Chains A and B, each alone.
Chain A
Amino acid sequence: MRSVAYAILIGLIGAAMLHIVLVLGLPRFSAEDAYSRVLGLFEMDSFFRLTRAPGTTGLSDDDPFLRVAVCGFSVAGGPVRFSAGGDVPFWSFAVYDSTSNEVFSMNDATAVQRKLDVIAATPRQLTELRKLPSDALGAAILVEMRDPEGYAVVRAMAPTQSFEESARDFLAKASCETFRAEN
């Protein structure tokens, strides 16, 4: 009888260890996290507009008043510049790394002239960018990416049906491209 109690006790200790391993390890192995889903869109270096119905990767535009677009990117081959502008009552922008941690976020009230202009770069690329003449960068906000891979999300608000077109337009014009400084 005592050996059965021992076996159960060892089983419980094992269960606690397995619980910890599963919870800690899941973000590393999950194929359904937001970054894997963005990569599954097979659209790198451009914003992909989500639809109301979940797409093939399960990402969808949940809020009826917000139109959402995502862009998977990597700064390994050079800094990436995000830009967008247009007449929407509200827009917001966020950069996440490949573990889906927020790196940077902003909205139209914090943008210069209400236009989105952000450059994501590795710490080394940032020092190169800062050497450039100031007019090459304009009013761009520089964001440091410790992890070279990540994804960006742009949301545009359409509070009424009549704003639907400008929100769509805003996302269609949004760009997410590798930045090359003209010399």
Chain B
Amino acid sequence: MEWLLENRTRLLTLGILIVLFLLAISGMPAEEWVITALRGLALGALTFLVAAGLSIIFGLMDVLNLAHGELFMLGAYMGWTIYVRPDTVIDGATPFLLIASLLVLVPLLTRWVRSLTLPDLVDKIWPWVGLAAGIGLLVFALFQYPLSTWDLENYAQSPISNAIAFETGTFQSPPPAEFEASPVLVIGGVIVGSGLLALAAAGFSARQTTLRQPSPTQMRNIAIVSGGLFALAFVVLAINNPLTEFMLGLGSTPRFFIAMALASVTGALLGWTIEVTMIRPLYDRPIYQIMLTLGLGFIILELVRAVWGRPEFQMPRPAVFAGTGEGCPATSIGDLVQYQCATIEVLGGRVRMYNEVFIIIVGLLVLGAVALLLQRTRLGMIIRAGVQDSEMVEALGINVRQVFSQVFALGVGLAALGGVLAGPSLGLSNGMGARVLLLALIALAVGGLTSFSGAAAGAVLIGLLQQFIIKYGQIGINVPFMAEPFKPSPPLVPASSVLLMVVILLILPQGLFGRKE
């Protein structure tokens, strides 16, 4: 009883939301509302993949990562590249791995640089010289590096026609690019350039007065990782052509799953790098973190525009979810497996397998996995405790900051996974990041800023609301005192969810599932 009284506003709000949902359902026939609800759940699943990371990152380290939407977008474009143009990815892997293997060495180099005694003037200047020389050499060498890629200027070879050709099955990858200059010189240039860059970075970080020395085991691990990356780079270079042929020979379904996995891993690595290099120095200045992530978002957006171009294009659906013709739309599970249909029949309406079923399944899997991680593992326990009171956790002798990088990596990895998933259903565009960020922020605010389950519930709520309003935009709402049904225009759809957020925050400032401060 007491609990009821305490939570009466919350229960009332939930009740009103349920009544509104029932009202919305009663306005249309059964097959239509089922499809609309499925669409809403799918949009909710995509929003959830972004909101989950945002919520854990914000809860644990008080960083509102405003670049999260753009990272989602970057994940989508990376996924598209792995999926449609694996040759480009394999070509680019070698120089990327080489640069990474040398930059990983920075902590070791810092230790070495600190033990040096140089004349004052030389000590001041050399990192700048190294930085300029390293960047110059790297840019020069990378421009010489052969990369079979698309061409933004030429429509026939642009990402759009690549995607269309892939969908119709007429895509032919261009002949593998060959070294024009001597390979030894170009690869040597990349190695020396990134080596200089790493040295310069070590020179800069050696100047910091408070520097944690890596322990011997850490140093050994760093050396092993670096050596491994270095060796991997040459392995990839050696088997470049067979690997490319193998990837292109794979069916579109396994390739799509490879793209999902690779893009999430790359996203996670990117997130880890961002946390370590840029966010970590700013934990004492909270407002600057928000500004930094805003700026980062702009940089990523411009990068995407420069590499993949401005026009919108679609990621082709994998073959399992693209079957049409005989036996489709499927009426039973057996048909579905046999003909690999794009659509199935539910209550007389057609449900698209990829857009409205697969995305929801992946969303549920991720929800379960993250919930398990949070509830059942030691890392999850530290995260949960850190969200509640990170100072207390530190006082108990746990290094919370070490968890920060892992959590940031996890969040960005999930966002990148969401991006790849969204590719075939929402399409790839420069604006997708900003749109999904707005949705995720709303979901977060509605569900309670730091609550993980709240983020999930908020995402589903926002997804359902958006899809039902879009549906009513087609069929119209019968408003009393108006002759014609009112049809909200598409731009007003996002406005409705924003309004929902404002109203809910005004009634319940801590969100639907948040805890009172």
Please indicate whether A and B come from the same complex rather than being unrelated chains. no
Interface residues of chain B, those whose CB is within 8 Å of chain A, are none
